[in-house]
Amino acid sequence: MEQSRALLEQAGIKIAAISYDSAEILKKFAELNRIGYPLLSDQGSTVIRRFGIFNENLLPDMRAYGVPHPVEYLLAPDGTVREKFFVPNYQHRVAGSEVAMRAQGTAGANAIHLKSGHVEIVIGLSSREAFAGQELGLIAEFSIAPGWHIYGAPAPAGYTSTAVRFETHHVAGYSFKFPSPQVKRFEALGETIAVHYGNFKAVGRVLLKFPLQPADYTLAGTIDLQQCSDTECEGPQIIRFQLPIKIAPTVPEPKRS
C-alpha cells in the first residue's frame, strides 16, 4: 500500500486505513514499516459495525474477534463510494497496486504488448505477485490505426464484437468493461454501428482460483476482434495472450501469544 501511495497522491487521492488495534499498536506498526498515511484505531469495532462489515463468525474470546470483512473503498471527495475492492477472505489483502492502477489507468511494467494488423494492445495485470483467491485488476490499452475500427457490442450480424476472455485453468472468474462504443454511420451500408477506434482503455478484474500451489503461472486468454476500415474488412481474429503471475504462499496465521 505504501508503494502505491505516491501514485495515488499524484492523482489527488489520500489513503487511510482502519483496524480494531489500539493507537499504541498502530504507532509501533507505522514506525516499524514507515507508514506515511493515517492508521485509525477503531477499538471496539464501532465504525466497522457502522459500515456493516463486522465479521460475525468469530467468538468474543478469539483474538480475531472484532475484525472486519476486509473491504477497500475508493471514495469521492463528498464521501460517495466510487469503487469497492475486496477479496472474500480476511486472510488475504487486496493489492494496493490494483487500486493505484485503476486510479492512474496505466497497464504497468508487467504488461505485454500485442500487435495484429492495425491494432496494438498493451495488456497487463495490476500485480506480478498475488495470493490464490485474490482479485487482480486488468487493463488493456488499445491503439487503432487511423481509418480503422473494431466492433463494440452488439456487433452487426456477421461481424465479431471485441471481447477479452480467460481460460479457466487458474481463473475462477473475470469481468471486463470497454468504454461506451462510438456510433458510426456507414453510408454504404445504410446502417449505424457501434465501433471502437483511436486510443482507448478497457479495465477489468480477474479472480484467481483458490487454492493454488505457490508457483509461477501464466494466465492464458484471448482477445476476439475484427478490424475494418470504411472500405475493407479483415476476417475475425482471436489474439492469444499469456500474462505471468507468481502465486505467493498464503500468509501464515501467527501463533497466539
Q: Which residues bind other proteins (CB under 8 A)?
A: 1, 8-9, 11-21, 23, 25-27, 29-30, 35, 38-42, 47-48, 50-53, 55-59, 62-64, 67-84, 86, 88-91, 93, 99, 211, 253-256
Q: Least Å distance between CB 173 and other proteins? A: 15
CB 116 within 8 A of CB 237: yes
Supply the minimum distance, in Å, between the C-beta of residue 111 and other proteins: 22
Please say which residue, 43 or 242, places its beta carbon nearer to other proteins. 43
CB 223 within 8 A of CB 114: yes
Q: Which is nearer to other proteins, 28 or 113 (CB)?
A: 28
Cell output for 115: 500487435
| Residue among 146 and 254 whose Cβ is closer to other proteins | 254
CB nearer to other proteins: pick between 41 and 160: 41
The bridge status of strand 148-151 relative to strand 199-208 is unpaired
Q: Output 40 or 238, the one with its CB closest to other proteins.
A: 40
- The distance of closest approach from Cβ of residue 199 to other proteins in the complex, given in angstroms and rounded to an integer, is 23
CB of 13 to other proteins, least distance (A): 5
Cα(228)–Cα(143) distance, rounded to whole angstroms?
14
User: If we measure between CA atoms, which residue out of 240, 207, 205 comes closest to residue 116?
Assistant: 240
SS3 36: coil
Residue 14 burial (CB < 10 Å; 0-12/13-18/19+)?
A: exposed
231 Cβ partners below 8 Å, 6+ apart? none
- Coil/strand/helix, residue 23: helix
Nearer to other proteins, 50 or 240 (CB): 50
| Minimum CB–partner distance for residue 157 and other proteins (Å) | 35
> What residues contact 203, with CB distance under 8 A and at least 6 apart?
102, 105, 137, 138, 139, 140, 176, 177
Min dist CB 211 to other proteins, Å, is 7
